[in-house]
A and B are shown apart, each in its own frame.
Chain A
Amino acid sequence: MLINRRKFLHLGSLATGTLMLPKFLKAFDSPAYGISGNKVLVVLQLSGGNDGLNTVIPIRNDIYYRERPGLAITKDKALSLDTEAGLHPSLSNIKALYDEGNLAILNNVGYPNPDRSHFRSMDIWQSASSSDEYLNSGWLGRYLDAQCPGCSKPTQVLEMDDMLSLALSGEQMKGIALRDPKRLYETSQDPFFKDSLLAGMREQAEDPTSYLYKVMAETLSGADYIFQQSKLRPSVTVYPNSEIGKNLKTIASLISSDINTRVYYVSLGSFDTHVGQQAKQEKLFIDLNDAIKPFTDDLKSNHRFEDVLMMSFSEFGRRVGENSSGGTDHGTANNMFLISGGLKNKGLLNGMPDLSNLTEGDLNQQLDFKRVYATVLNKWLQADDYKILGKKYEYLNFI
């Protein structure tokens, strides 16, 4: 953080001491870097609609085997969790987390009046809206808004991508997306950007000019800060060369640094398995499984596993019955994984889906995902969930 500050002042020094640093740059100047509490959330988005029934498998359910003559995973292949449920065979490292008591599973998560379009349902999950409401901001962006009104610390919420998702876009503030700290840093090093910014800071511009300079300042200083932090204690653990492997390695390195980031957002996909599901889902799960082991190992050896919660979700699950192309079509409710060394309740937290009680071939949701968000916001991130979600939801007690 000192390095960052020095670097930034260096940039500022080009314009000599007469330069008044605007408030948004002073954010990085404050001794109390970041916000109180050291808990970290890692959101894992399984894009495309992961088939939850072949993820947490109802190994004793006749309806499951009847509806999926080609795709069902047999009891002996599944990694059994208890007498009713088993994990997909490729998720052995997640099974190990279950055995250690570091995994909790929520089943039947969704929202009323489910939408089967990817983009709409993803919109609903990311903005935390109901299905007949359209919000222009995301739940983690509003978390950012609520944490620090008036000041600017966008590095509190980071996405591992070239584009920022709606989830991380607030009304006032927006998180930062990056695929690689070094690349973001190099891009931001163009002296022309710095000179433009310094010139822009001389003027007391009004909106929207001031907004553009604010984002530019946050990006340039954020890029610098993230890069310095990523070099502080880089992970030496071997990760697979997959994209999720690289992303989790970056996240692990940042978590062990002094960065102020509270939320990381990472995606894996596409789980849209209309055709040839078996091979596609397996490939993605192998990537996930191989990446999650070094990640949790890193957290454990840095004594941060108790402070980190990883939460997975997908925009919807898939239909109970398989289709005629060896795949499954868009469905409704789904499961969520919660991985942490700091779970209060672990294992299967609620019942397996009731396959005898379907609506037009789809599962009925029993747990609104916004209750999970409220729990995480309030109990993990110590944030005002009511302000962020606009409604009070009953908390769960896994943390």
Chain B
Amino acid sequence: MGYMIGNQQKNQHLWWRAGFGPPADQVHELSKLKPESLFHSILKASEKKPALFDVADPELKERVMGNGQMAAGKMLALKPEERQMIRKQSVQDIAKLNVRWLQEMTTSPAQLREKMSLFWHGHFASKTINILYDEALLNIIRENALDNFRDLLFNVSKSASMIQFLNNNQNKKGHPNENFARELMELFTIGRGHYTETDVKESARAFTGWGANLQGEYDFRPRQHDDGIKTFFGKTGNLSGEDVLEILLAQKQTALFITGKIYRYFVNETVDEERVNSLASRFYDSGYDIRALMISIFTASWFFDQKNIGSQIKSPVLWMVGLRRQLPMEIQNPAVQLIIERLLGQVLFSPPNVAGWPGGKHWIDSSSLMLRLQIPALIYKSDVILSRPKDDDDVMMGTRDQVFARNGRKSMNAGAQLFQAKIFWNEYIKDFDKIKDSEIYAAIRDLLLQRVLPMNENEMIKYIDESNREARIQSITIRLMGTPEYQLC
């Protein structure tokens, strides 16, 4: 590695960046395919619109969204216990949606679409405890992830989730709430330092009247809208929220901000300014065509430069999904993945704040690193994870004991989660059928790691079960997954 980068490493690089890591059933193709053709097949698999998620409990849906009967007025008339029940159901369903999406990331051929969706999920960070809102926002993101940033921005801004999370529903004529307007500029479009406090105030007025109904649909309330004259980025008039979004999209800085963030996420945290400028210009000229931008990135020769390969710390979700893709398994208690998400610091639908997950080195501290190094062995042995995540009061709403009782634990102090998984070793081992015993170690290493492993085979040998070929393949795999280099992609 390092001198001549072979197709296998390039293809693995593609799989990790344009998806969630190479799938087990493609091992033989990795060294044969040309990266361009691999990318085009990944892209093609992501072309069609995704099947939308629909995991919310039907009864809950009927109660909250039902046609007329149970709608608006009745929701308010609910007894506190009934509301508590709805909340609980909602929290459970959000966990279900989380597991469902992890499954999709693991098995869907539309790898690029799901990966882009995870990126946008962090970019348009929102946290509600309403399953219907969360599901609707995710569906918007997954539908638009590879299409047009303008459509994505409009749909997200008008989603019930974002309207609630950033308080646009409380943004009324005469009493503006600036939360959405500020984050729209700071985090979603042009970035800090490119707008003034006056821009925030004026655009907040433009968004007055934006709301969502119980069905989760955008609901404009003309009587709450401030239709006075506003001035925003040099444009004066009775500006609407839509006008503000258009004006922001007309700023080249928006294309630059988004492209820079995409580059840091998909290529390298250290930005090559010139390259990003040129990508951003094309992105802007294309009218914000996300697909075209991603094609420019993943087919560029610089994408495969040594400095970009293995240069990133996998996010907890990428780490966990990538592991499942390389080592096919059936997790008997899929909810254990949520515990891992929490322990490693990335719970889907629960970003740390509206700025999303900071990523990179922020993923790693002594606790999270040690867990990452241990978990592959725990899965292998179906062993117990002793660590225990912190409480999430926003989700538990003071019902911690019940929540844990439902998860089959006596109390928080039980503090252990069994990782029960059936690993399909036969399938995995078959991938190495044609490889000689003497070359097995190197083959597995080069498949699992994108960086040179400092430990050599001789140093590794005492940790490898040499009793037979199967045991050897298994123990090499599990040990390599417990190295610092496995954290990188």
Q: Which residues of A contact B (CB under 8 A)?
A: 47-49, 117-120, 123, 132, 134, 136, 154, 161-166, 169, 174-177, 183, 187-188, 192-193, 195-196, 199-200, 202-203, 205, 208-209, 211-213, 215-216, 218-219, 222, 243, 267, 269-270, 272-275, 280, 324-325, 327
Instruction: Please measure, in the bound complex, the distance between the C-alpha atom of A208 and the C-alpha atom of B315, giving whole angstroms.
Output: 13
| Cross-chain contact B393 with A216 (CB below 8 angstroms) | no
Q: Which of B341-360 contact A (CB under 8 A)?
A: 342-343, 345, 350, 352-355, 358, 360
| Cross-chain contact B360 with A119 (CB below 8 angstroms) | no
Question: Which of B343, B393, B455 contacts A49 (CB under 8 A)?
Answer: B393
Given A161-B390, A163-B390, A196-B455, residue A215 in contact with residue B353 (CB < 8 A)? no
**Does B397 make an interface contact (CB < 8 A)?**
yes
| Cross-chain contact B391 with A270 (CB below 8 angstroms) | yes
Q: A187-B370, A195-B455 are in contact. List 10 more A-B contacts (CB 8 A).
A: A47-B393, A174-B365, A176-B366, A196-B483, A208-B488, A211-B364, A212-B369, A219-B370, A222-B366, A274-B398
Instruction: Please measure, in the bound complex, the distance between the C-alpha atom of A193 and the C-alpha atom of B377, giving whole angstroms.
Output: 13
Q: Which of B447-489 contact A (CB under 8 A)?
A: 451-456, 459, 463, 479, 482-485, 487-488
Instruction: Please measure, in the bound complex, the distance between the C-alpha atom of A356 and the C-alpha atom of B459, giving whole angstroms.
Output: 72
| Cross-chain contact B366 with A215 (CB below 8 angstroms) | yes
| Cross-chain contact B367 with A163 (CB below 8 angstroms) | yes
**Does B312 make an interface contact (CB < 8 A)?**
yes
The 12 listed contacts between A and B (C-beta, < 8 Å) are A118-B394, A123-B353, A162-B389, A163-B343, A164-B365, A165-B390, A192-B482, A199-B455, A199-B459, A211-B364, A212-B487, A269-B393
A182 shortest CB reach to chain B, Å: 12
| Cross-chain contact B393 with A164 (CB below 8 angstroms) | no
A193 shortest CB reach to chain B, Å: 7
Question: Which of A47, A120, A208, A324 contacts B353 (CB under 8 A)?
Answer: A120
Q: Which residues of B contact A (CB under 8 A)?
A: 80, 84, 127, 182, 311-313, 342-343, 345, 350, 352-355, 358, 360-362, 364-370, 373-374, 386-394, 396-400, 413, 451-456, 459, 463, 479, 482-485, 487-488
B447 shortest CB reach to chain A, Å: 19
Q: Which residues of B contact A120 (CB under 8 A)?
A: 353
Instruction: Please measure, in the bound complex, the distance between the C-alpha atom of A209 and the C-alpha atom of B483, giving whole angstroms.
Output: 11
| Cross-chain contact B343 with A134 (CB below 8 angstroms) | no
User: Which of A174, A188, A205: most chain B Cβ within 10 A?
Assistant: A174
Q: Which residues of A contact B394 (CB under 8 A)?
A: 117-119
Counting from the closest, the 4 A-B pairs by CB-CB distance are A272-B398, A162-B387, A219-B366, A199-B454
| Cross-chain contact A192 with B367 (CB below 8 angstroms) | no
- By beta carbon, the residue of chain B nearest A159 is B367
| Cross-chain contact B182 with A132 (CB below 8 angstroms) | yes
Question: Which of A117, A164, A200 contacts B367 (CB under 8 A)?
Answer: A164
Q: Which residues of A contact B350 (CB under 8 A)?
A: 119
Q: Which residues of B contact A213 (CB under 8 A)?
A: 484
Q: Which residues of A contact B84 (CB under 8 A)?
A: 275
- By beta carbon, the residue of chain A nearest B345 is A163
| Cross-chain contact B398 with A208 (CB below 8 angstroms) | no
Q: Which residues of B contact A205 (CB under 8 A)?
A: 454
Q: Which residues of B contact A119 (CB under 8 A)?
A: 127, 350, 352-353, 392-394
Instruction: Please measure, in the bound complex, the distance between the C-alpha atom of A275 and the C-alpha atom of B355, giving whole angstroms.
Output: 32
| Cross-chain contact B484 with A270 (CB below 8 angstroms) | no
| Cross-chain contact A177 with B365 (CB below 8 angstroms) | yes
Given A177-B367, A209-B451, residue A269 in contact with residue B484 (CB < 8 A)? no
| Cross-chain contact B484 with A136 (CB below 8 angstroms) | no
| Cross-chain contact B353 with A164 (CB below 8 angstroms) | no
Instruction: Please measure, in the bound complex, the distance between the C-alpha atom of A284 and the C-alpha atom of B395, giving whole angstroms.
Output: 20
Q: Which residues of B contact A243 (CB under 8 A)?
A: 413
Q: Which residues of B contact A218 (CB under 8 A)?
A: 366
Question: Which of A49, A192, A327 contacts B479 (CB under 8 A)?
Answer: A192
Q: Which residues of A contact B452 (CB under 8 A)?
A: 203
B415 shortest CB reach to chain A, Å: 8
| Cross-chain contact B311 with A203 (CB below 8 angstroms) | no
Q: Which residues of A contact B343 (CB under 8 A)?
A: 162-163
| Cross-chain contact A270 with B398 (CB below 8 angstroms) | yes
A186 shortest CB reach to chain B, Å: 10
| Cross-chain contact A216 with B369 (CB below 8 angstroms) | yes
Given A117-B394, A119-B394, A163-B390, residue A136 in contact with residue B459 (CB < 8 A)? no
Q: Which residues of B contact A169 (CB under 8 A)?
A: 362, 365
Instruction: Please measure, in the bound complex, the distance between the C-alpha atom of A162 and the C-alpha atom of B484, giving whole angstroms.
Output: 20
Instruction: Please measure, in the bound complex, the distance between the C-alpha atom of A165 and the C-alpha atom of B484, giving whole angstroms.
Output: 22
Instruction: Please measure, in the bound complex, the distance between the C-alpha atom of A49 and the C-alpha atom of B127, giving whole angstroms.
Output: 19
| Cross-chain contact B398 with A134 (CB below 8 angstroms) | no
Instruction: Please measure, in the bound complex, the distance between the C-alpha atom of A161 and the C-alpha atom of B400, giving whole angstroms.
Output: 17
| Cross-chain contact B400 with A200 (CB below 8 angstroms) | no
Q: Which residues of A contact B358 (CB under 8 A)?
A: 136
Q: Which residues of B contact A200 (CB under 8 A)?
A: 454-455, 484
- By beta carbon, the residue of chain A nearest B452 is A203
Instruction: Please measure, in the bound complex, the distance between the C-alpha atom of A196 and the C-alpha atom of B456, giving whole angstroms.
Output: 10
Instruction: Please measure, in the bound complex, the distance between the C-alpha atom of A318 and the C-alpha atom of B252, giving whole angstroms.
Output: 45
| Cross-chain contact B386 with A183 (CB below 8 angstroms) | yes
Instruction: Please measure, in the bound complex, the distance between the C-alpha atom of A119 and the C-alpha atom of B165, giving whole angstroms.
Output: 13
Q: Which residues of B contact A118 (CB under 8 A)?
A: 392-394
Q: Which residues of B contact A272 (CB under 8 A)?
A: 393, 396-398
A281 shortest CB reach to chain B, Å: 11
- By beta carbon, the residue of chain A nearest B187 is A134
Instruction: Please measure, in the bound complex, the distance between the C-alpha atom of A237 and the C-alpha atom of B488, giving whole angstroms.
Output: 46
Given A119-B127, A163-B343, residue A270 in contact with residue B393 (CB < 8 A)? yes
Instruction: Please measure, in the bound complex, the distance between the C-alpha atom of A33 and the C-alpha atom of B370, giving whole angstroms.
Output: 25
| Cross-chain contact A196 with B484 (CB below 8 angstroms) | yes
Q: Which residues of A contact B80 (CB under 8 A)?
A: 324-325
| Cross-chain contact B365 with A215 (CB below 8 angstroms) | yes
| Cross-chain contact B392 with A177 (CB below 8 angstroms) | no
Instruction: Please measure, in the bound complex, the distance between the C-alpha atom of A132 and the C-alpha atom of B388, giving whole angstroms.
Output: 31
Q: Which residues of B contact A219 (CB under 8 A)?
A: 366, 369-370
User: Which of B127, B345, B453, B454: most chain A Cβ within 10 A?
Assistant: B454
Question: Which of B361, B388, B456, B484 contacts A216 (CB under 8 A)?
Answer: B484
B319 shortest CB reach to chain A, Å: 13
| Cross-chain contact B398 with A280 (CB below 8 angstroms) | yes
- By beta carbon, the residue of chain B nearest A162 is B387
User: Which of A163, A183, A205: most chain B Cβ within 10 A?
Assistant: A163
Instruction: Please measure, in the bound complex, the distance between the C-alpha atom of A199 and the C-alpha atom of B373, giving whole angstroms.
Output: 16
Q: Which residues of B contact A215 (CB under 8 A)?
A: 364-366, 369
Given A208-B312, A243-B413, A272-B397, residue A48 in contact with residue B367 (CB < 8 A)? no
Instruction: Please measure, in the bound complex, the distance between the C-alpha atom of A269 and the C-alpha atom of B392, giving whole angstroms.
Output: 11
Instruction: Please measure, in the bound complex, the distance between the C-alpha atom of A176 and the C-alpha atom of B370, giving whole angstroms.
Output: 11
User: Which of A154, A218, A272: most chain B Cβ within 10 A?
Assistant: A272
| Cross-chain contact B484 with A327 (CB below 8 angstroms) | no
Instruction: Please measure, in the bound complex, the distance between the C-alpha atom of A351 and the C-alpha atom of B353, giving whole angstroms.
Output: 33
Given A48-B391, A202-B454, residue A195 in contact with residue B488 (CB < 8 A)? no
- By beta carbon, the residue of chain A nearest B483 is A196
Given A119-B127, A216-B484, A325-B80, residue A273 in contact with residue B398 (CB < 8 A)? yes
